[in-house]
Amino acid sequence: MEAPVKPFSREQLPRHIAIIMDGNGRWAKNRFLPRTAGHHAGVSSVRKAIEYCGAVGVEALTLFAFSSENWRRPQQEVSVLMGLFLATLERETEKLHKNNVRIRIIGDRTAFARELQEKISAAESLTSTNTGLNVTIAANYGGRWEIVEAVRKVARQVVDNQIEPDAITTEVFASNLCLTNLPEPDLFIRTGGEKRISNFLLWQLAYTELYFTDTLWPDFDEAELETAIKDYSGRQRRFGYTGEQVENLFVNPGLL
């Protein structure tokens, strides 16, 4: 997974990229193919994104593969998607492990077939101590679901007298969400032309730079990802400060 050149400096490179992979259906329709052909083609863009991020030194890549609302799609499309997750895990896990990739799935996995749940757990435990790229697949995931799950966990801690309500800070609450040991996404990418967050990582995207492209997911390759990162690297992230404060911070990090 070594890129020939590292095109970005450490400061220019997002540590964590989160992607909504949209446009598979339209890609297929444009070619008079069934929608599911677009999902098959989308898997190779997933592979390219993982390899590129690993090669340039991104720490975490989080991909929205299946939302809690996607169950509403035609039954045949849902079962092709489930089959693709299973086949991809079976085919790619060993190779990802050899490349030091850590795989995690976020979302309510209890709705998946037992075989898929077992493959997910096996891939997670095989790669759990890997120290390279963190790949997280959001499957049967919704941002509101995640927040409600965290509220439940915190409420149980209160009922069990493990924490006082007044001690619930932003940090305490966030430690009950998914992705706790990863930096929050620096760059969010949505392919396929829509400009929405669609219930993805609602809490974690609070300060993330947003990038939207009309490119359909199966056409999103290394060059497209490089363009997105270049766009990101030219932005000034302010986190509520003024532009001048941020510039001073670079000169003298102790000022703020």
3-state secondary structure of 190: strand
CB closer to ligand FPP, 176 vs 213: 213
Report in angstroms how near the CB of residue 66 gets to ligand FPP at its nearest: 6
CB closer to ligand FPP, 136 vs 176: 136
218 DSSP 8-state letter: G
> Which residues on adjacent β-strands are paired with residue 135?
61, 103
Q: What are phi and psi of 25, to 5 degrees?
A: -65, -45
Nearest Cα neighbor of 92 from 57, 53, 135 is 135
Of 70, 99, 100, 248, the catalytic one is 70
CB closer to ligand FPP, 65 vs 133: 65
Q: Name the token pair of 49.
A: 């994104």
CB closer to ligand FPP, 22 vs 176: 22
- Please give the residue ranges that form the binding site for ligand FPP (CB under 6 A): 21-26, 39, 42-43, 46, 63, 65, 70, 81, 84-85, 88, 137, 192, 217
22 flagged as catalytic: yes
Report in angstroms how near the CB of residue 50 gets to ligand FPP at its nearest: 9
221 flagged as catalytic: no
CB 106 within 8 A of CB 138: yes
Strands 60-67 and 102-106: unpaired
CB 92 within 8 A of CB 127: no
Alpha helices, H only, the chain: 24-30, 35-56, 75-98, 114-126, 143-159, 170-174, 222-233, 243-251
CB closer to ligand FPP, 55 vs 84: 84
Report in angstroms how near the CB of residue 84 gets to ligand FPP at its nearest: 5
Query: What distance lies between CA 40 and its chain's CA centroid?
Result: 19
Which residue's CB atom is positioned nearest to ligand FPP? 25
Report in angstroms how near the CB of residue 45 gets to ligand FPP at its nearest: 7
Report how many helices (DSSP H) and strands (DSSP E) the chain contains, helices first.
8, 6
Report in angstroms how near the CB of residue 244 gets to ligand FPP at its nearest: 41
Catalytic center residues: 22, 70
